[in-house]
Every structure is written in C-alpha cells, then in structure tokens.
Structure 1
Amino acid sequence: MLYKFKSKAAGDLIMMGPTGDQVLRIIGKEPAPQGIIEPAAMAAAIAALERAVAEDEAARAQAEKEAQAEGRTPAPRDGVSLRQRAWPMVEMLRRAQAENHEIVWGV
C-alpha cells in the first residue's frame, strides 16, 4: 500500500506502506487506508517523531559503542534511517500547523 498525505499547506507526501505505517504508529495513529491529522494534534505528532528519531539514533550509537568495546565491527546501517524517513512528515506537519490546515490521506 502507498500513503499519499495531502495538505493545503504543503505539497503531497508519498510513503511506501511500511514507512507510512511506522510513522502513523509513532504519532499515535492506527495505520488505515484513510485518515486525518488535525492541527490541534500536530505539536504532539512532531514531538513524538522527534523523540522516536532521537531514541533510534541513541540505540544505534549504543550498539556501535558496544561493538567497538567488544572489538568487533558495528553492523552497517539498514538503508535509510528513521530521521531521513520521518523528516518530510515533520516538515509537512510544521507547515500545516503554521497555516492551521489538516493533513489527510486516502481521500
């Protein structure tokens, strides 16, 4: 499934299903074919995404530190980081919040 997030405040944002599911879960929404993020919920959504990115990066740094302490090479990163995947949504949320517009998908 593809997610196409839309807002009058920003261009459309397209995410592949697994990434869209992950982002929606992080902001407290259940993945669904259709949905809406109201302006009142956007500050909390931005904070949740920023917190998830920080936790992901801290876990990666800890894993690298432990690998180095054990004298082994840290595992390579898995493609695109959560920061890179979440950044477009954070930007869309900020713009939509600033202009008091909702974000919808599947409509």
Structure 2
Amino acid sequence: MMIVTFKSKASGDLIYFKDAALRLLQLMGRDNKVPSALYAEDVSAALIALQQGLAAIAEAERVKAEQTKAEQGWDEPADNEQNSKAHISLNTRALPLLEMLQKAHKKQCPVSWE
C-alpha cells in the first residue's frame, strides 16, 4: 500500500495511506498529483475548503447514522456499532493535516506532499 507524506516547515511530517491522502487532497480542492505542493498564499483557501468538505461529510455521516437507528428501532442494539468503533472517520484522520495547514498558514509556509 502506498503512502503519501505531507511536509511543511511549520510542523513535523505527516504520513497517510494514499487513499486517505487523495480524498483529503480532493477536499482541499487539489488534484490527485503526487508529488505536489501548496504555495504559502494558497494554504488558507485549501484549509477552508478542507474544513467545509469535512463538515459536509460529518453531516452526511450523522444523517446516515440517524436513519440507521430509526430503521432498526430505538430498543434494538445496532449491529454496526462494533463496526463504527473500528472505523476511523476521515474527519478524525484529517485532524493532523488540519493542524499542519493552520500552522503553515500562521507561519506563511508552503505545504508539499510526496
């Protein structure tokens, strides 16, 4: 399985599996090119796009969970509860990248990935 490493002088390197990295890049408004980079002046727009994309995903997951709960009835334990504990959401995986982008924006540093 391929990995993608995000780098910035504003923080330490971050390593993601390629599938998660590509989804995060898409949410940032970037294409699937690896290696590539953001200029310091583009970091803010990428950060905002990523935050908005993650918020939309979180809302869709919340709605789906409510629908599943309603379909199964309130009393019955959901079969997918164990699965959801094992599943790490993209929002959770994105937290280190969000922090990196925030630091890079603050320090006016570019962000690259390879």
TM-score bracket, shorter-length normalisation: 0.7 to 0.9
User: How far, CA to CA, are the matches of 1:60 and 1:33 in structure 2?
Assistant: 28
- Of 56-65 and 6-15, more deviation after overlay is shown by 56-65
CA displacement, residues 42-93 of structure 1 (integer Å, 9 cap, x when unaligned):
1221112211221122112111222232235374426111111111111101
2:91 is aligned, of 70, 79, 83, to 83
- Of 5-14 and 73-82, more deviation after overlay is shown by 73-82
TM-score, normalized by length of structure 1?
0.87
> CA RMSD, aligned part only?
1.7
Unaligned 5+ segments in structure 1 are: none
Percent identity reads 28
User: How far, CA to CA, are the matches of 1:95 and 1:60 in structure 2?
Assistant: 28
Whether contact under 8 Å (2:43, 2:111) holds in the other structure is no
Unaligned 5+ segments in structure 2 are: none
Whether contact under 8 Å (2:8, 2:110) holds in the other structure is yes
> Equivalent residue for 1:57?
58
Q: Note closer, same or farther for the CA distance 1:33–1:71 as it changes in structure 2 (3 Å cut).
A: closer
**Does 1:48 find its partner at 2:49?**
yes
Whether contact under 8 Å (1:63, 1:74) holds in the other structure is no
User: How far, CA to CA, are the matches of 1:27 and 1:74 in structure 2?
Assistant: 34
TM-score, normalized by length of structure 2?
0.82
Larger Rg: 2
User: How far, CA to CA, are the matches of 2:52 and 2:79 in structure 1?
Assistant: 24
CA displacement, residues 16-48 of structure 1 (integer Å, 9 cap, x when unaligned):
100111111111111122111112211221112
State the secondary structure of the residue aligned to 2:12.
strand
Matched AA of 1:35:
S
